[in-house]
Every structure is written in C-alpha cells, then in structure tokens.
Amino acid sequence: MGTVHARSLDPLPMQGPELGVQADDLDVGEAEYEPQQEVLENKDVVVQHVHIDGLGRTKEDILTYEIADVFRAKNLIDVMKKSHDARQRLLRLGIFRQVEVVIDTSHGVDALPNGLDVTFEVKELRRMTGSYNTMVGNNEGSMVLGLKLPNVFGRAEKLTFQFSYGTKETSYGLSFFKPQAGHFERNFSVNIYKVTGQFPWSSLRETDRGISTEFSFPIWKTNHTLKWEGVWRELGCLARTASFAVREESGHSLKSSLAHAMFIDTRNSPILPKKGALLKINQELAGYTGGDARFLKEDFEIQLNKRLIWDSVLSASLWGGLLLPFGDKPTSIADRFYLGGPTSVRGFSMYSIGPQSEGDYLGGEVYWAGGLHLYTPLPFRPGRGGFGDLFRTHFFLNAGNLCNLNYGEGPRAHLSRLAECIRWSYGAGIVLRLGNIARLELNYCIPMGVQSGDRICDGVQFGAGIRFL
Amino acid sequence: MSLAAEAFVSQIAAAEPWPENATLYQPLREDQILLSDCASSLAVQAYLRMLGLPVRVRCRANAEYMSPSGKVPFIHVGNQVVSELGPIMQFTRAKGHSLSDSLDDVQRAEMKAYMELVNNMLLTAELYIQWCYQNTAAEITRPRYSSPYSWPLNHILAYQKQWEVRRKMNAIGWAGKSLEQVYEDVSQCCQALSQRLGTQPFFFNKQPTELDALVFGHLFTILTTRLTTDELSEKIKSFSNLLSFCRRIEQAYFESQDRDSQSGALDYSKGPSLM
C-alpha cells in the first residue's frame, strides 16, 4: 500500500452508479497520488461526522443504522472500506438513484487533527415511477401498466401496483413492502391480487383473488418466510370439450393457509451454478384459519453442484412433495402436483405425467423427481468471458413419478407405488442463460418408462423456465 | 375445437342410443337449491320420465359452475354435457326421442308460444321473488344459495348473484315492478294456462308434451315450496284444473314409476308430494 492522502480520495471509484465495485479494487492506483498536505498512512483517524446530503422525504433514523459502521473505522483504509459498504447498504434499500461518498478532513472549531468527515451525497428516487408494456401471445394481446412508489413513507417502504388488461384476461396486483430499520432482510409485505391462469394440459382456467401477508427473516445461513394467504379460487373449464373430471372441479373455493418456506443457497449463481448447494423446503397448512380447502402440503428441492475438470459441472437434484387432505373432501385439482416438461422430467410434455381423464391431466398427491446433469462449456469455450459464458452443453438423466395416494394403504404401499412405473429420460442439449433468473433449453430427449396416458415429446424439446430439475 | 368439429361430434353422439348411466346434476336438494332451479330441474326430470329415458339425479354444490351454460340443471349423457330444457329437448330429439311428434305445425307453434309464456312469466316471477323481494332474498335465497361456502365467500357469491339477477330484471323492464304486479302477472299466466288446459288431461289431448313437463315443473315446485308468504302458491291454487293436472302428472310419472323401480331413493328427486 502506497502513500495515501485524504484529499486525493475523491477520484477513487467510489462514485458513479456501478454497483459491482469491490473493496479489493480500491487500492488500484492509489500510490500515484502525490502527497499534498499531510500523510495519513497508517495513522489512526477518527470519523467525526457523517453527513448525508440530498435527503428529501427519507427519514434519517433508518439511515443511521446503515452508516453506523463508518464511525467505527480506525484508519483510513478502514474508513474507505466501511464507507463503501455503507454505500452498498444504502443502495440496497432501493430508495436512492445514486449515492456518492466524499471523505474529507474535518473542518470547524472542534476538528481534530486526525478527524475525518464522511459525506454521502444521495439522490432520491422519484416519488413515483411508471412503466408501460404491451405483450402479444397466442391469440391474445395485453397491456401491462406498472406503478411503483419507492420510499412512500420515508422509511424504505415500497408500494407497487401492476395492472394487466388483456383481450382475454384482466389481472392486477398491489403490494406493500416494509423492511425493518437496520435489518433489510427482515421485512414484511402485504399483497392483494387477482390472477388468471389457463392450463391447457388440464383444460382448466383458474382465477385467483387473494390477500397475502408475508414475513421474511434470516436465521443463521437460512432464509425463512412465514406467510398467510387467503385466496378465493374460481375454477372453470377452458373449453366445452373438457373432460368431466375437470368439469366436476369447477366452481368456487376459499383457501386460507399458513405457509412456511425455508431455503439455504450456497451456489455461486442460481442459473448454471458451478459449485454449491441449494435446499428448499415449503410447507403449507390450509383449512385451520378458515376456508374450505383443508390440506397439508410439503415439498422440497435439493441441488448439489460439483466442479470437475475443464470447468465441467456435475449437478444432481431431487424434488419431492406430498399433499395430504384432511377431512372427507378430496384434494382440489388446483392444489395437486404436476410433473413433466422441458425443465422438469424432460422428454415428456408440459405437466403431462400421471393421472388423467380424457386427455386432461389431473395432477397427483405425491411426486418425486430426480436429475443428474453434466454441464460443460464445450464447444463454447472460445467465447469465454463473453457470449460463450451464456451457453452450456449438457447431458442429462431425469426420472420421476407422480401418483395419487389411497390413504388406507399405509406408508409401505405408498412407497412401492412411487417406485413402480418410474418415468425416466435421457438426452443432451444446449442451455442458454437468460440474465440471472431464467434459462432456455434445447434438448434431444429419449423418454423411457412411458405409461399409458402420458404425453411424450420424443426428440427435440424446447423450453424455458425459472425452476429446473 | 372448431364449430364444425363440435357439430360433428354432437352428430356422432346423436347416433348413439340413450345410455343407462345418464345423469342429471342439480344443486343440493336440502340446503341449497332455489325455487327457480328446482322448477327447471323438475321440468327436465318430468320431460325425461315422459319419454321413458332413465336418468339418475345427482346433487352437487357446484352444479351451477359445472354446467356449460352456467345454469342448472344439466345432463351428462355418454360424453356429452347439455344444460337447460331447450337444448336437452333438441338433444333427445336428435337421438329420436320427442313428445311432440304427433302434433301438427299449428299445435307445435302454439306449444312453443305457451312454453315461452311460462319461461317469460313464471320463471321470471320466481327469479323476481327470490332475488328482488327483500324479505325472500334476505331470509331464504341468499342463505340457501351461499350455504356450501365459507365466510366471506358466501356473502360475496350471494350478492354477486343477486346483482346479476337484478341487472337482468333491469334489462327486461321488471325492476320497476311491485310485488303485487308480479303476483298479478303470475295470475294472468295461470289463467291462460288454465284456459288452454280446460278439462283435458294434458295440454294437447291425451298425450303429454314438452309443455306439460315445463308447466308441471314450475307449478309443482311453487306449490310445494315454502316461501316467506304463501301468496304465490295461493295464486295457483285458485285454478283447480291446474292443481289436478299437477297431481295427475305426479301420480303418472313419479309415484307409479318409483313404485315400479325399486331404486326409489336415488331417482325420486322431485321433493315433497302434493298429497
């Protein structure tokens, strides 16, 4: 570390909107600055004042938690690192468009010789931002209006509203989000929504109107979400030709459920990870807080990634779930599990495995699915560091089963039901990463263990998804 | 499926004989079904019984939503689903079963006119009394209609339905009518039916027709359903030939048939008796 001078800190890459600046980058080029006033290297400093300039509607009390650490810095490098961290914390609140840090020697009557003042120059986001999109799908067009009010009450609360008006369906969602001051990961949100989904594999149309409240918090390395949801669900047939089994499910129901979700994610990237593991557990208990849907639903997801030679990655995943109805009412088609498709058990059509009636898939009460993948950057290796990083070739082996349970049979019979008639498939394909949230896959699949009623996709299968086996 | 393909499928279905497992779906008989739905369901049952076509009656809380037209009753025959009396009549005719084959064109036109009268007057009056007359709506209709649902869905659905019916009443100009005027309309309708019936056993000579099934369904249900007041049934009771007509059909098609087939409990779904 070279000679560092306080005055010369201004041009360090602390400014500017790029979020990716790492603390390690800070020492680049520092040695070149000529000492102008006083050498502060290795000298103890005291952060005397921290200013935040440019605050409008933001309340100062929530910011003090984010910047408190800066006062604890003991030397200049520390000040820079802590200020940088504080800047990241401020940006994470999602209420500032820009945050710049200026570190200066203290001025004024009470200024100590080794005193520093840190100033955060912030620019708040506008009170309201809007967006407008149009989407065109199969025989359907829609217009999506979005409104976002960041920092509504000055403490990083966020109010978002989305309205989609389509030729077939109208849906909307209003959500209010409030983080706990100083613990952004501990947050609370309320949502009101109406969504309509069409599920052609079941000839089913579902309209949900609901309210949910969610509380998220971290414990050690795990993230937890507790949620209560009240949904009015309206099911109907997508066409007159829908099977009678689906027709029988039509009508209104009310689900009031308490849900808990937990996940640990040590992967380096959610899409195309190179190492690390993911564990997700969801549980939902419906019916004890009102409503007419009564069930317990459990499901889990595990993924392990291991790096091999030449940047190849071996990835193994396992999914499973169980839906247990209470009382004499059978489970609803809207609550059951579905399996199959280009991002789950490949080689089968979308959600086209398991119980069906006249070609409409009814879902199952228990399922498992497992996958083994070998990802390799070949032959996209020459594009490393650029375009080629978005692509992987993969070889896969998927398996899974989905069935209904007759609850008189006992656990042993259920396990043997899941172990017989296993659907599996293998093949190879190309994976394209879309941002950090989704991926596209083009695979050549060979489905095996096909049972009567399953719809397969033998050969080339294309699909996109945010969750994949 | 395209319209042509649908027509093709229904033609194929028409060629198939009437199956033994034909089923009629209606709302829950004890707690849920409303006067108007009960009348429509009974009319269809009477019609199928007059044709001698067997049908099992199943009660489902979501019958209204299962129906392709959103109205009850509907029948599930083979893999076809047909709702309401009119389409069901067409459907059975396509299969070669009809009650009005012996009528000439003039009589058939007359029958259709009377059926329209019943639908426009009696059915609309039933809907009016159920949903637009405050006492009935609050004490009987809304609680019964929403009985299968839990709070707060029960209120939402009941008021949504009430609003829908009131909008329909507005559209056909009934919204401004008073209860007295509605009773008067029912009276006039019954007067017309009573005159047409005269002393005959059925509306058209000695054979029952679709009109008989429809009139029976409505009158019988009104006579045997308790509402907040008896006024509606009193209006009908003043026409003695209509009363005996109802009794005659009940005896001929419901009681005797149930005695013949021992499966009375399942098939006998008309509700209380007139005797």
Coil, strand or helix: which one is B108?
A: helix
Residue B263: band (very low, low, confident or very high) from pLDDT cuts 50, 70, 90: very low
**pLDDT for B243:** 92
pLDDT for the residue numbered A68: 87
Give the E-state strand segments of A200-275 in sequence order: 204-219, 222-237, 251-265
pLDDT confidence band for A167 (50 / 70 / 90): confident
- CA-based nearest residue in chain A for residue B68: A240
Among the partner residues B1, B64, B66, nearest to A241 by beta-carbon distance: B1
DSSP letter for A201, please.
T
Mean pLDDT of chain A: 84
Spatial separation of the C-alpha atoms in residues B239 and B199, rounded to whole Å: 12
> What is the structure's pLDDT at B257?
62
- The phi and psi torsions of A179 (rounded to 5 degrees) equal -85, 155
Q: State which residue of chain A sits closest to B60, comparing Cα positions.
A: A248
Report CB contact under 8 Å: A236, B65: yes
Question: What mean pLDDT is predicted for residues A360-386?
Answer: 85
Q: How many CA atoms lie within 13 A of B130 on its CB side?
A: 28
Instruction: Look at residue A57 and tell me whether its pLDDT is greater than 60.
Output: yes
Q: How far is CA A138 from CA A164, A181, A348, in A?
A: 16, 45, 22
Does residue A291 sit at the B interface (CB-CB below 8 Å)? yes
Is-cis flag, bond preceding B148, omega within 30? no
Predicted local confidence at residue A359, as pLDDT: 87
User: What does the pLDDT look like over A424-444, one tens digit per residue?
Assistant: 999 999 999 888 788 889 999
Q: Where are the domains of chain A?
A: 46-124, 180-465
Measured between alpha carbons, how far is B213 from A161 in angstroms, rounded to an integer?
A: 54
Residue type, A469: L
CATH number at residue B48: 3.40.30.10
- Cβ-based neighbour number of residue A113 at 10 Å: 10
B-chain CB neighbours of A246 within 8 Å are none
Q: Give which of A283, A278, A282 is closest to A264, Cα–Cα.
A: A278
CA distance A447 to A398: 9
Q: Which CATH number fits domain A180-465: 1.10.3720.10, 2.40.160.50, 3.40.50.970, 3.30.450.20?
A: 2.40.160.50
If pLDDT is split at 50, 70 and 90, which confidence band does A152 have? confident
| CA distance readout (Å), B141 to B41, B129, B133 | 17, 9, 10
pLDDT exceeds cutoff 70 at B159: yes
CB A251 to CB B64 under 8 A?
yes
Residue of chain A with shortest Cα separation from B75: A244
B151 lies in a domain? yes
- Is a pLDDT exceeding 50 seen at residue A10? no
The residue with greater pLDDT, B96 or B45, is B45
Q: Are residues B47 and B86 in the same domain?
A: yes
Q: What is the pLDDT of residue A319?
A: 95
Q: Residue B223 domain-assigned?
A: yes
User: Can you read off the two tokens belonging to residue B57?
Assistant: 């009656």
The tens digit of pLDDT for each residue in B75-106 reads: 999 888 999 999 999 999 888 888 888 888 99
Q: Which CATH superfamily is A46-124 part of?
A: membrane protein fhac (3.10.20.310)
Same domain, B86 and B113: no
pLDDT band at B218 (very low <50, low <70, confident <90, very high): very high
Co-location of B49 and B154 in the same domain:
no
Q: In chain B, how many domains are there? A: 2
Mean pLDDT, rounded, for A229-248: 91
HSE-up of B193 (CA within 13 Å, CB side)?
34
**Average pLDDT rounded to a whole number, residues B21-45:** 92
- CB within 8 Å: A244 and B62: no
Rg of chain A over all Cα atoms, to the nearest angstrom: 27
Average pLDDT over residues A138-144: 77
Residue B231 has pLDDT above 70, yes or no: yes
> Picking from A131-145, A149-163, A346-360, B214-228, which range would have the lowest pLDDT averaged per residue?
A131-145
Q: Judge whether A158 and A89 are in contact, CB under 8 Å.
A: no
The whole-number pLDDT of residue A24 equals 39
pLDDT recorded at residue A71: 87
On whether residue B275 sits in a domain, the answer given is no
ipTM: 0.84
Q: Specify whether B211 is located in the same domain as B154.
A: yes
In a domain, B267, yes or no: no
Of B68, B95, B122, the last residue of a domain is: B95
Q: What percent of chain A has pLDDT over 90?
A: 39
Burial B109-130 (b: 16+ CB within 10 A, else e): ebbeebbebbbebbbbbbbbbb
Residue A292 has pLDDT above 50, yes or no: yes
Q: Are residues B83 and B11 in the same domain?
A: yes
Evaluate whether residue B134 is within a structural domain. yes
Helices (H) and strands (E) in chain B, counts: 15, 4
Phi, psi of A433 (to 5 degrees): -85, 130
Residue B211 has pLDDT above 90, yes or no: yes
Mutate which of A252, A255, A360 to disrupt the B interface (most B C-beta within 10 Å)? A252
State the DSSP code for A113.
T
Question: What is the per-residue pLDDT for A5?
Answer: 37
Instruction: Please indicate, yes or no, if residue B171 is contained in any of the structural domains.
Output: yes
Task: Among A41-55, A68-82, B101-115, name the most confident range.
Answer: B101-115
Q: Are residues B144 and B72 in the same domain?
A: no
Domain boundary among B62, B95, B128: B95
Kind plus residue range of the DSSP H or E element containing B3: helix B3-15
Q: Which long-range contacts (CB under 8 A, 24 or more apart) does B157-166 make?
A: B157/A252, B161/B131, B162/B131, B162/B137, B165/B127, B165/B130, B165/B131, B165/B132, B166/B131, B166/B132
Q: Identify all chain A residues contacting B66, using CB atoms and an 8 Å cutoff.
A: 247-248, 250-251
Is the omega angle on the peptide bond into residue B73 within 30 degrees of 0, that is, cis? yes
For residue A15, the model assigns a pLDDT of 38
| pLDDT above 50 (res A334) | yes
For residues B119 and B218, state if they share a domain: yes
Q: Answer yes or no: do A290 and B151 touch at CB < 8 A.
A: yes
The residue written with tokens 């993924």 in the block is: A303
Given CA atoms A350, A355, A358, A362 in this order, what sign does their dihedral have? negative
Residue B177 has pLDDT above 70, yes or no: yes
> How high is the mean pLDDT of chain B?
86
Between CA A82 and CA A66 the distance in angstroms is 10
Residue ranges making up the domain that contains B91: 3-95
Among candidates B224, B264, B215, which has minimal Cα distance to B242? Answer: B215
Give the whole-angstrom CA distance, residue B250 versus residue B254. Answer: 5
Residues of chain B with C-beta less than 8 angstroms from the C-beta of A253: 153
Asked if A250's CB is within 8 angstroms of B65's CB, the reply is yes
The rounded percent of chain A whose pLDDT value lies above 70 is 89
Express each pLDDT in A76-92 by its tens digit: 888 889 999 999 988 88
B216 & B111 share domain: yes
Q: Which percentage of chain B shows pLDDT scores above 70?
A: 88
Final residue belonging to a domain, choices B95, B118, B150 = B95
What was the pLDDT predicted at A44? 82
pLDDT over threshold 60, residue B235: yes
- Contact between residue B147 and residue B155 where contact means Cβ atoms under 8 Å apart: no
Rounded to two decimals, what is the model's pTM?
0.82
Q: What is the pLDDT of residue B274?
A: 56
Residue A294 pLDDT exceeds 60: yes
Q: Please report which confidence band the pLDDT of residue A407 belongs to, taking 50, 70 and 90 as the band edges.
A: low
Name chain B contacts of A251, Cβ cutoff 8 Å: 61-62, 64-66
User: Taking CB atoms and an 8 Å limit, are B1 and A254 in contact across chains?
Assistant: no
Q: Are residues B73 and B116 in the same domain?
A: no
Question: Under the phi-then-psi rule, with left for phi > 0, alpha for psi from -120 to 50, and beta for the rest, what region is B157?
Answer: alpha
Q: Name which of B12, B59, B62 to mutate to probe chain A: the one with the most chain A Cβ atoms within 10 A of its Cβ.
A: B62
Say what percent of chain B tops pLDDT 90. Answer: 59
CATH of the domain at B122: 1.20.1050.10
